[in-house]
Amino acid sequence: MTNAEPHRGDGDLPRAVPWRSYALITGMAVVLVALLIAAAVPFVAPEAGLEPGPLVLITGRDDSVGRQRIELVREWNVIHKANPVQIVELPPVADAQRSEMVARAQAGGGVDVFNLDVTWTAEFAEAGYLAPIDERTVEAGDFLGRPLDSCRDADGRLWALPFNTDLGLLYYRRDLLQRLLNRPNADPPRTWNDLQSDVEEIRRTGYRGPAYVGQFDDYEGLTVNALELVRGAGGEIVDAGGAVTAGSHLDQIETAFDRLGVLSFGLEGQTEDESTEAFRSGGAVFMRNWPRAFLALSATREAGQPDREIGVTTLPDGSGILGGQNLAVSSRSERPRAARALVDFLTSDRSAQILFDRGGLPAARSVVFEDPEVQRRYPFAAELRAGLDDALPRPSLVHYARFSEAVRQPAREYANGSRRSLPPDFVARVQDGAAGRIASD
């Protein structure tokens, strides 16, 4: 120490400031800091009881219009600074998403919340990838019955909550129905028989656009199209309990697959996006697609209704099959309470409203269908709501993917014109698939 350096001993304290004043200043500083911390707390501290730290949500491509799922996660991130969500977004096709999610789940941790297609619940639960959801923590009555049921396994245990639901719809062009089928009121067909006759008649007129587009590519979309046709023909492949009943319905299944061949004529190999495009700009007269195609067909959301020439109704013969996605907490999550809070946030009434109204993904919550804005945007909202109550779930099978492949393989051959009768071992193959006895990937 040099002489020039000020001495900092207590004796140097300016006498003009008595110790009481120091206590006062220190006290005020403490209060000020406390106030600053208090002001900052809502933005940095975890919500009571939630483990702080980042969360990983793994999901298929956000197919909603305007990427509303991602928007909701952004909202969460603004409010829950202590639990920022990182989204891992997988490819658009359901089957590829499943393989990737299974691979990540098998690899261990790193995922907090899974966005599962309705058909994967049983498989993921059985494999131990999901944390069960305590029914007492869910206001079950707020969810539509069938979507909530798709979150359960065959024993009725709840593993997820519905993010959005889905139901196949029939889209048609009024102007083309009037012109090509001479139908002044543009009434759509109500049975698959009538739809098939319409399609055949349109082709006879020499019309150059496709009469019908759907999902005929080799993936889950084709399975759904095939199952709808089977249901529409009064057939069944698996009963509600998961038992394969195809053997007692071979005639109806054959009728359904024949029809698939007629409807898909020359067009096999289409996904949801491709059929939407064929309907938007390719002159297709009829289209089977999910509700989100309706918003996708509008030029912009603000422009409101899509082309007034487009009609939408439920599928013929009340043959709807339930679709949709469910959110589940990973059994390996290190932040299970925060992950569940995220699931609750994303499946709330408000989120369901946003996903449907802005994004086109049907709400799995009944209150949303009562919203006048939703009813205005979707002229078919009431029909869709009723159709959802009657939608047939795909079977809750641990080996659903293999079952789906066994159904799809002959369906695909009918669709591309290379098959005209069911293979003799069809039932055995479906049974093997449902029991997980054939390779799927």
Residues making contact with ligand GLC (CB under 6 A):
94, 117-118, 166, 220-221, 224, 290, 323-324
3-class SS at 129?
A: coil
Residues 6+ apart with CB under 8 A from 160: 114, 116, 121, 130, 133, 151, 326, 327, 328, 343
Query: Among all residues, whose Cβ is closest to ligand GLC?
Result: 323
Comparison of 322 and 430: residue with beta carbon closer to ligand GLC: 322
Distance from C-alpha of 427 to C-alpha of 16, rounded to nearest angstrom: 99
Comparison of 189 and 362: residue with beta carbon closer to ligand GLC: 362
Least separation, in Å, of the C-beta of 253 and ligand GLC?
20
Q: Which of 170, 215, 174 is nearest to 190 (CA)?
A: 170
Least separation, in Å, of the C-beta of 312 and ligand GLC?
17
Distance from C-alpha of 92 to C-alpha of 274, rounded to nearest angstrom: 12
Least separation, in Å, of the C-beta of 369 and ligand GLC?
18
Q: Which two tokens stand for residue 249?
A: 């319905």
Comparison of 217 and 357: residue with beta carbon closer to ligand GLC: 217
Least separation, in Å, of the C-beta of 314 and ligand GLC?
16
Comparison of 55 and 227: residue with beta carbon closer to ligand GLC: 227
Least separation, in Å, of the C-beta of 166 and ligand GLC?
3
Comparison of 294 and 422: residue with beta carbon closer to ligand GLC: 294
Comparison of 68 and 83: residue with beta carbon closer to ligand GLC: 68
Comparison of 168 and 232: residue with beta carbon closer to ligand GLC: 168
Least separation, in Å, of the C-beta of 198 and ligand GLC?
25
Q: Which of 229, 388, 213, 199 is nearest to 319 (CA)?
A: 229
Look at the chain and count its residues.
Answer: 441
Distance from C-alpha of 102 to C-alpha of 106, rounded to nearest angstrom: 6
- Report whether 99 contacts 441 (CB < 8 A): yes
Q: Which amino acid is at 173?
A: R
3-class SS at 385?
A: helix
Least separation, in Å, of the C-beta of 223 and ligand GLC?
8
Distance from C-alpha of 265 to C-alpha of 224, rounded to nearest angstrom: 18
Comparison of 131 and 401: residue with beta carbon closer to ligand GLC: 401
Least separation, in Å, of the C-beta of 270 and ligand GLC?
11
* Alpha-helical runs (H) found in 139-291: 145-149, 174-181, 192-204, 220-232, 250-263, 272-281
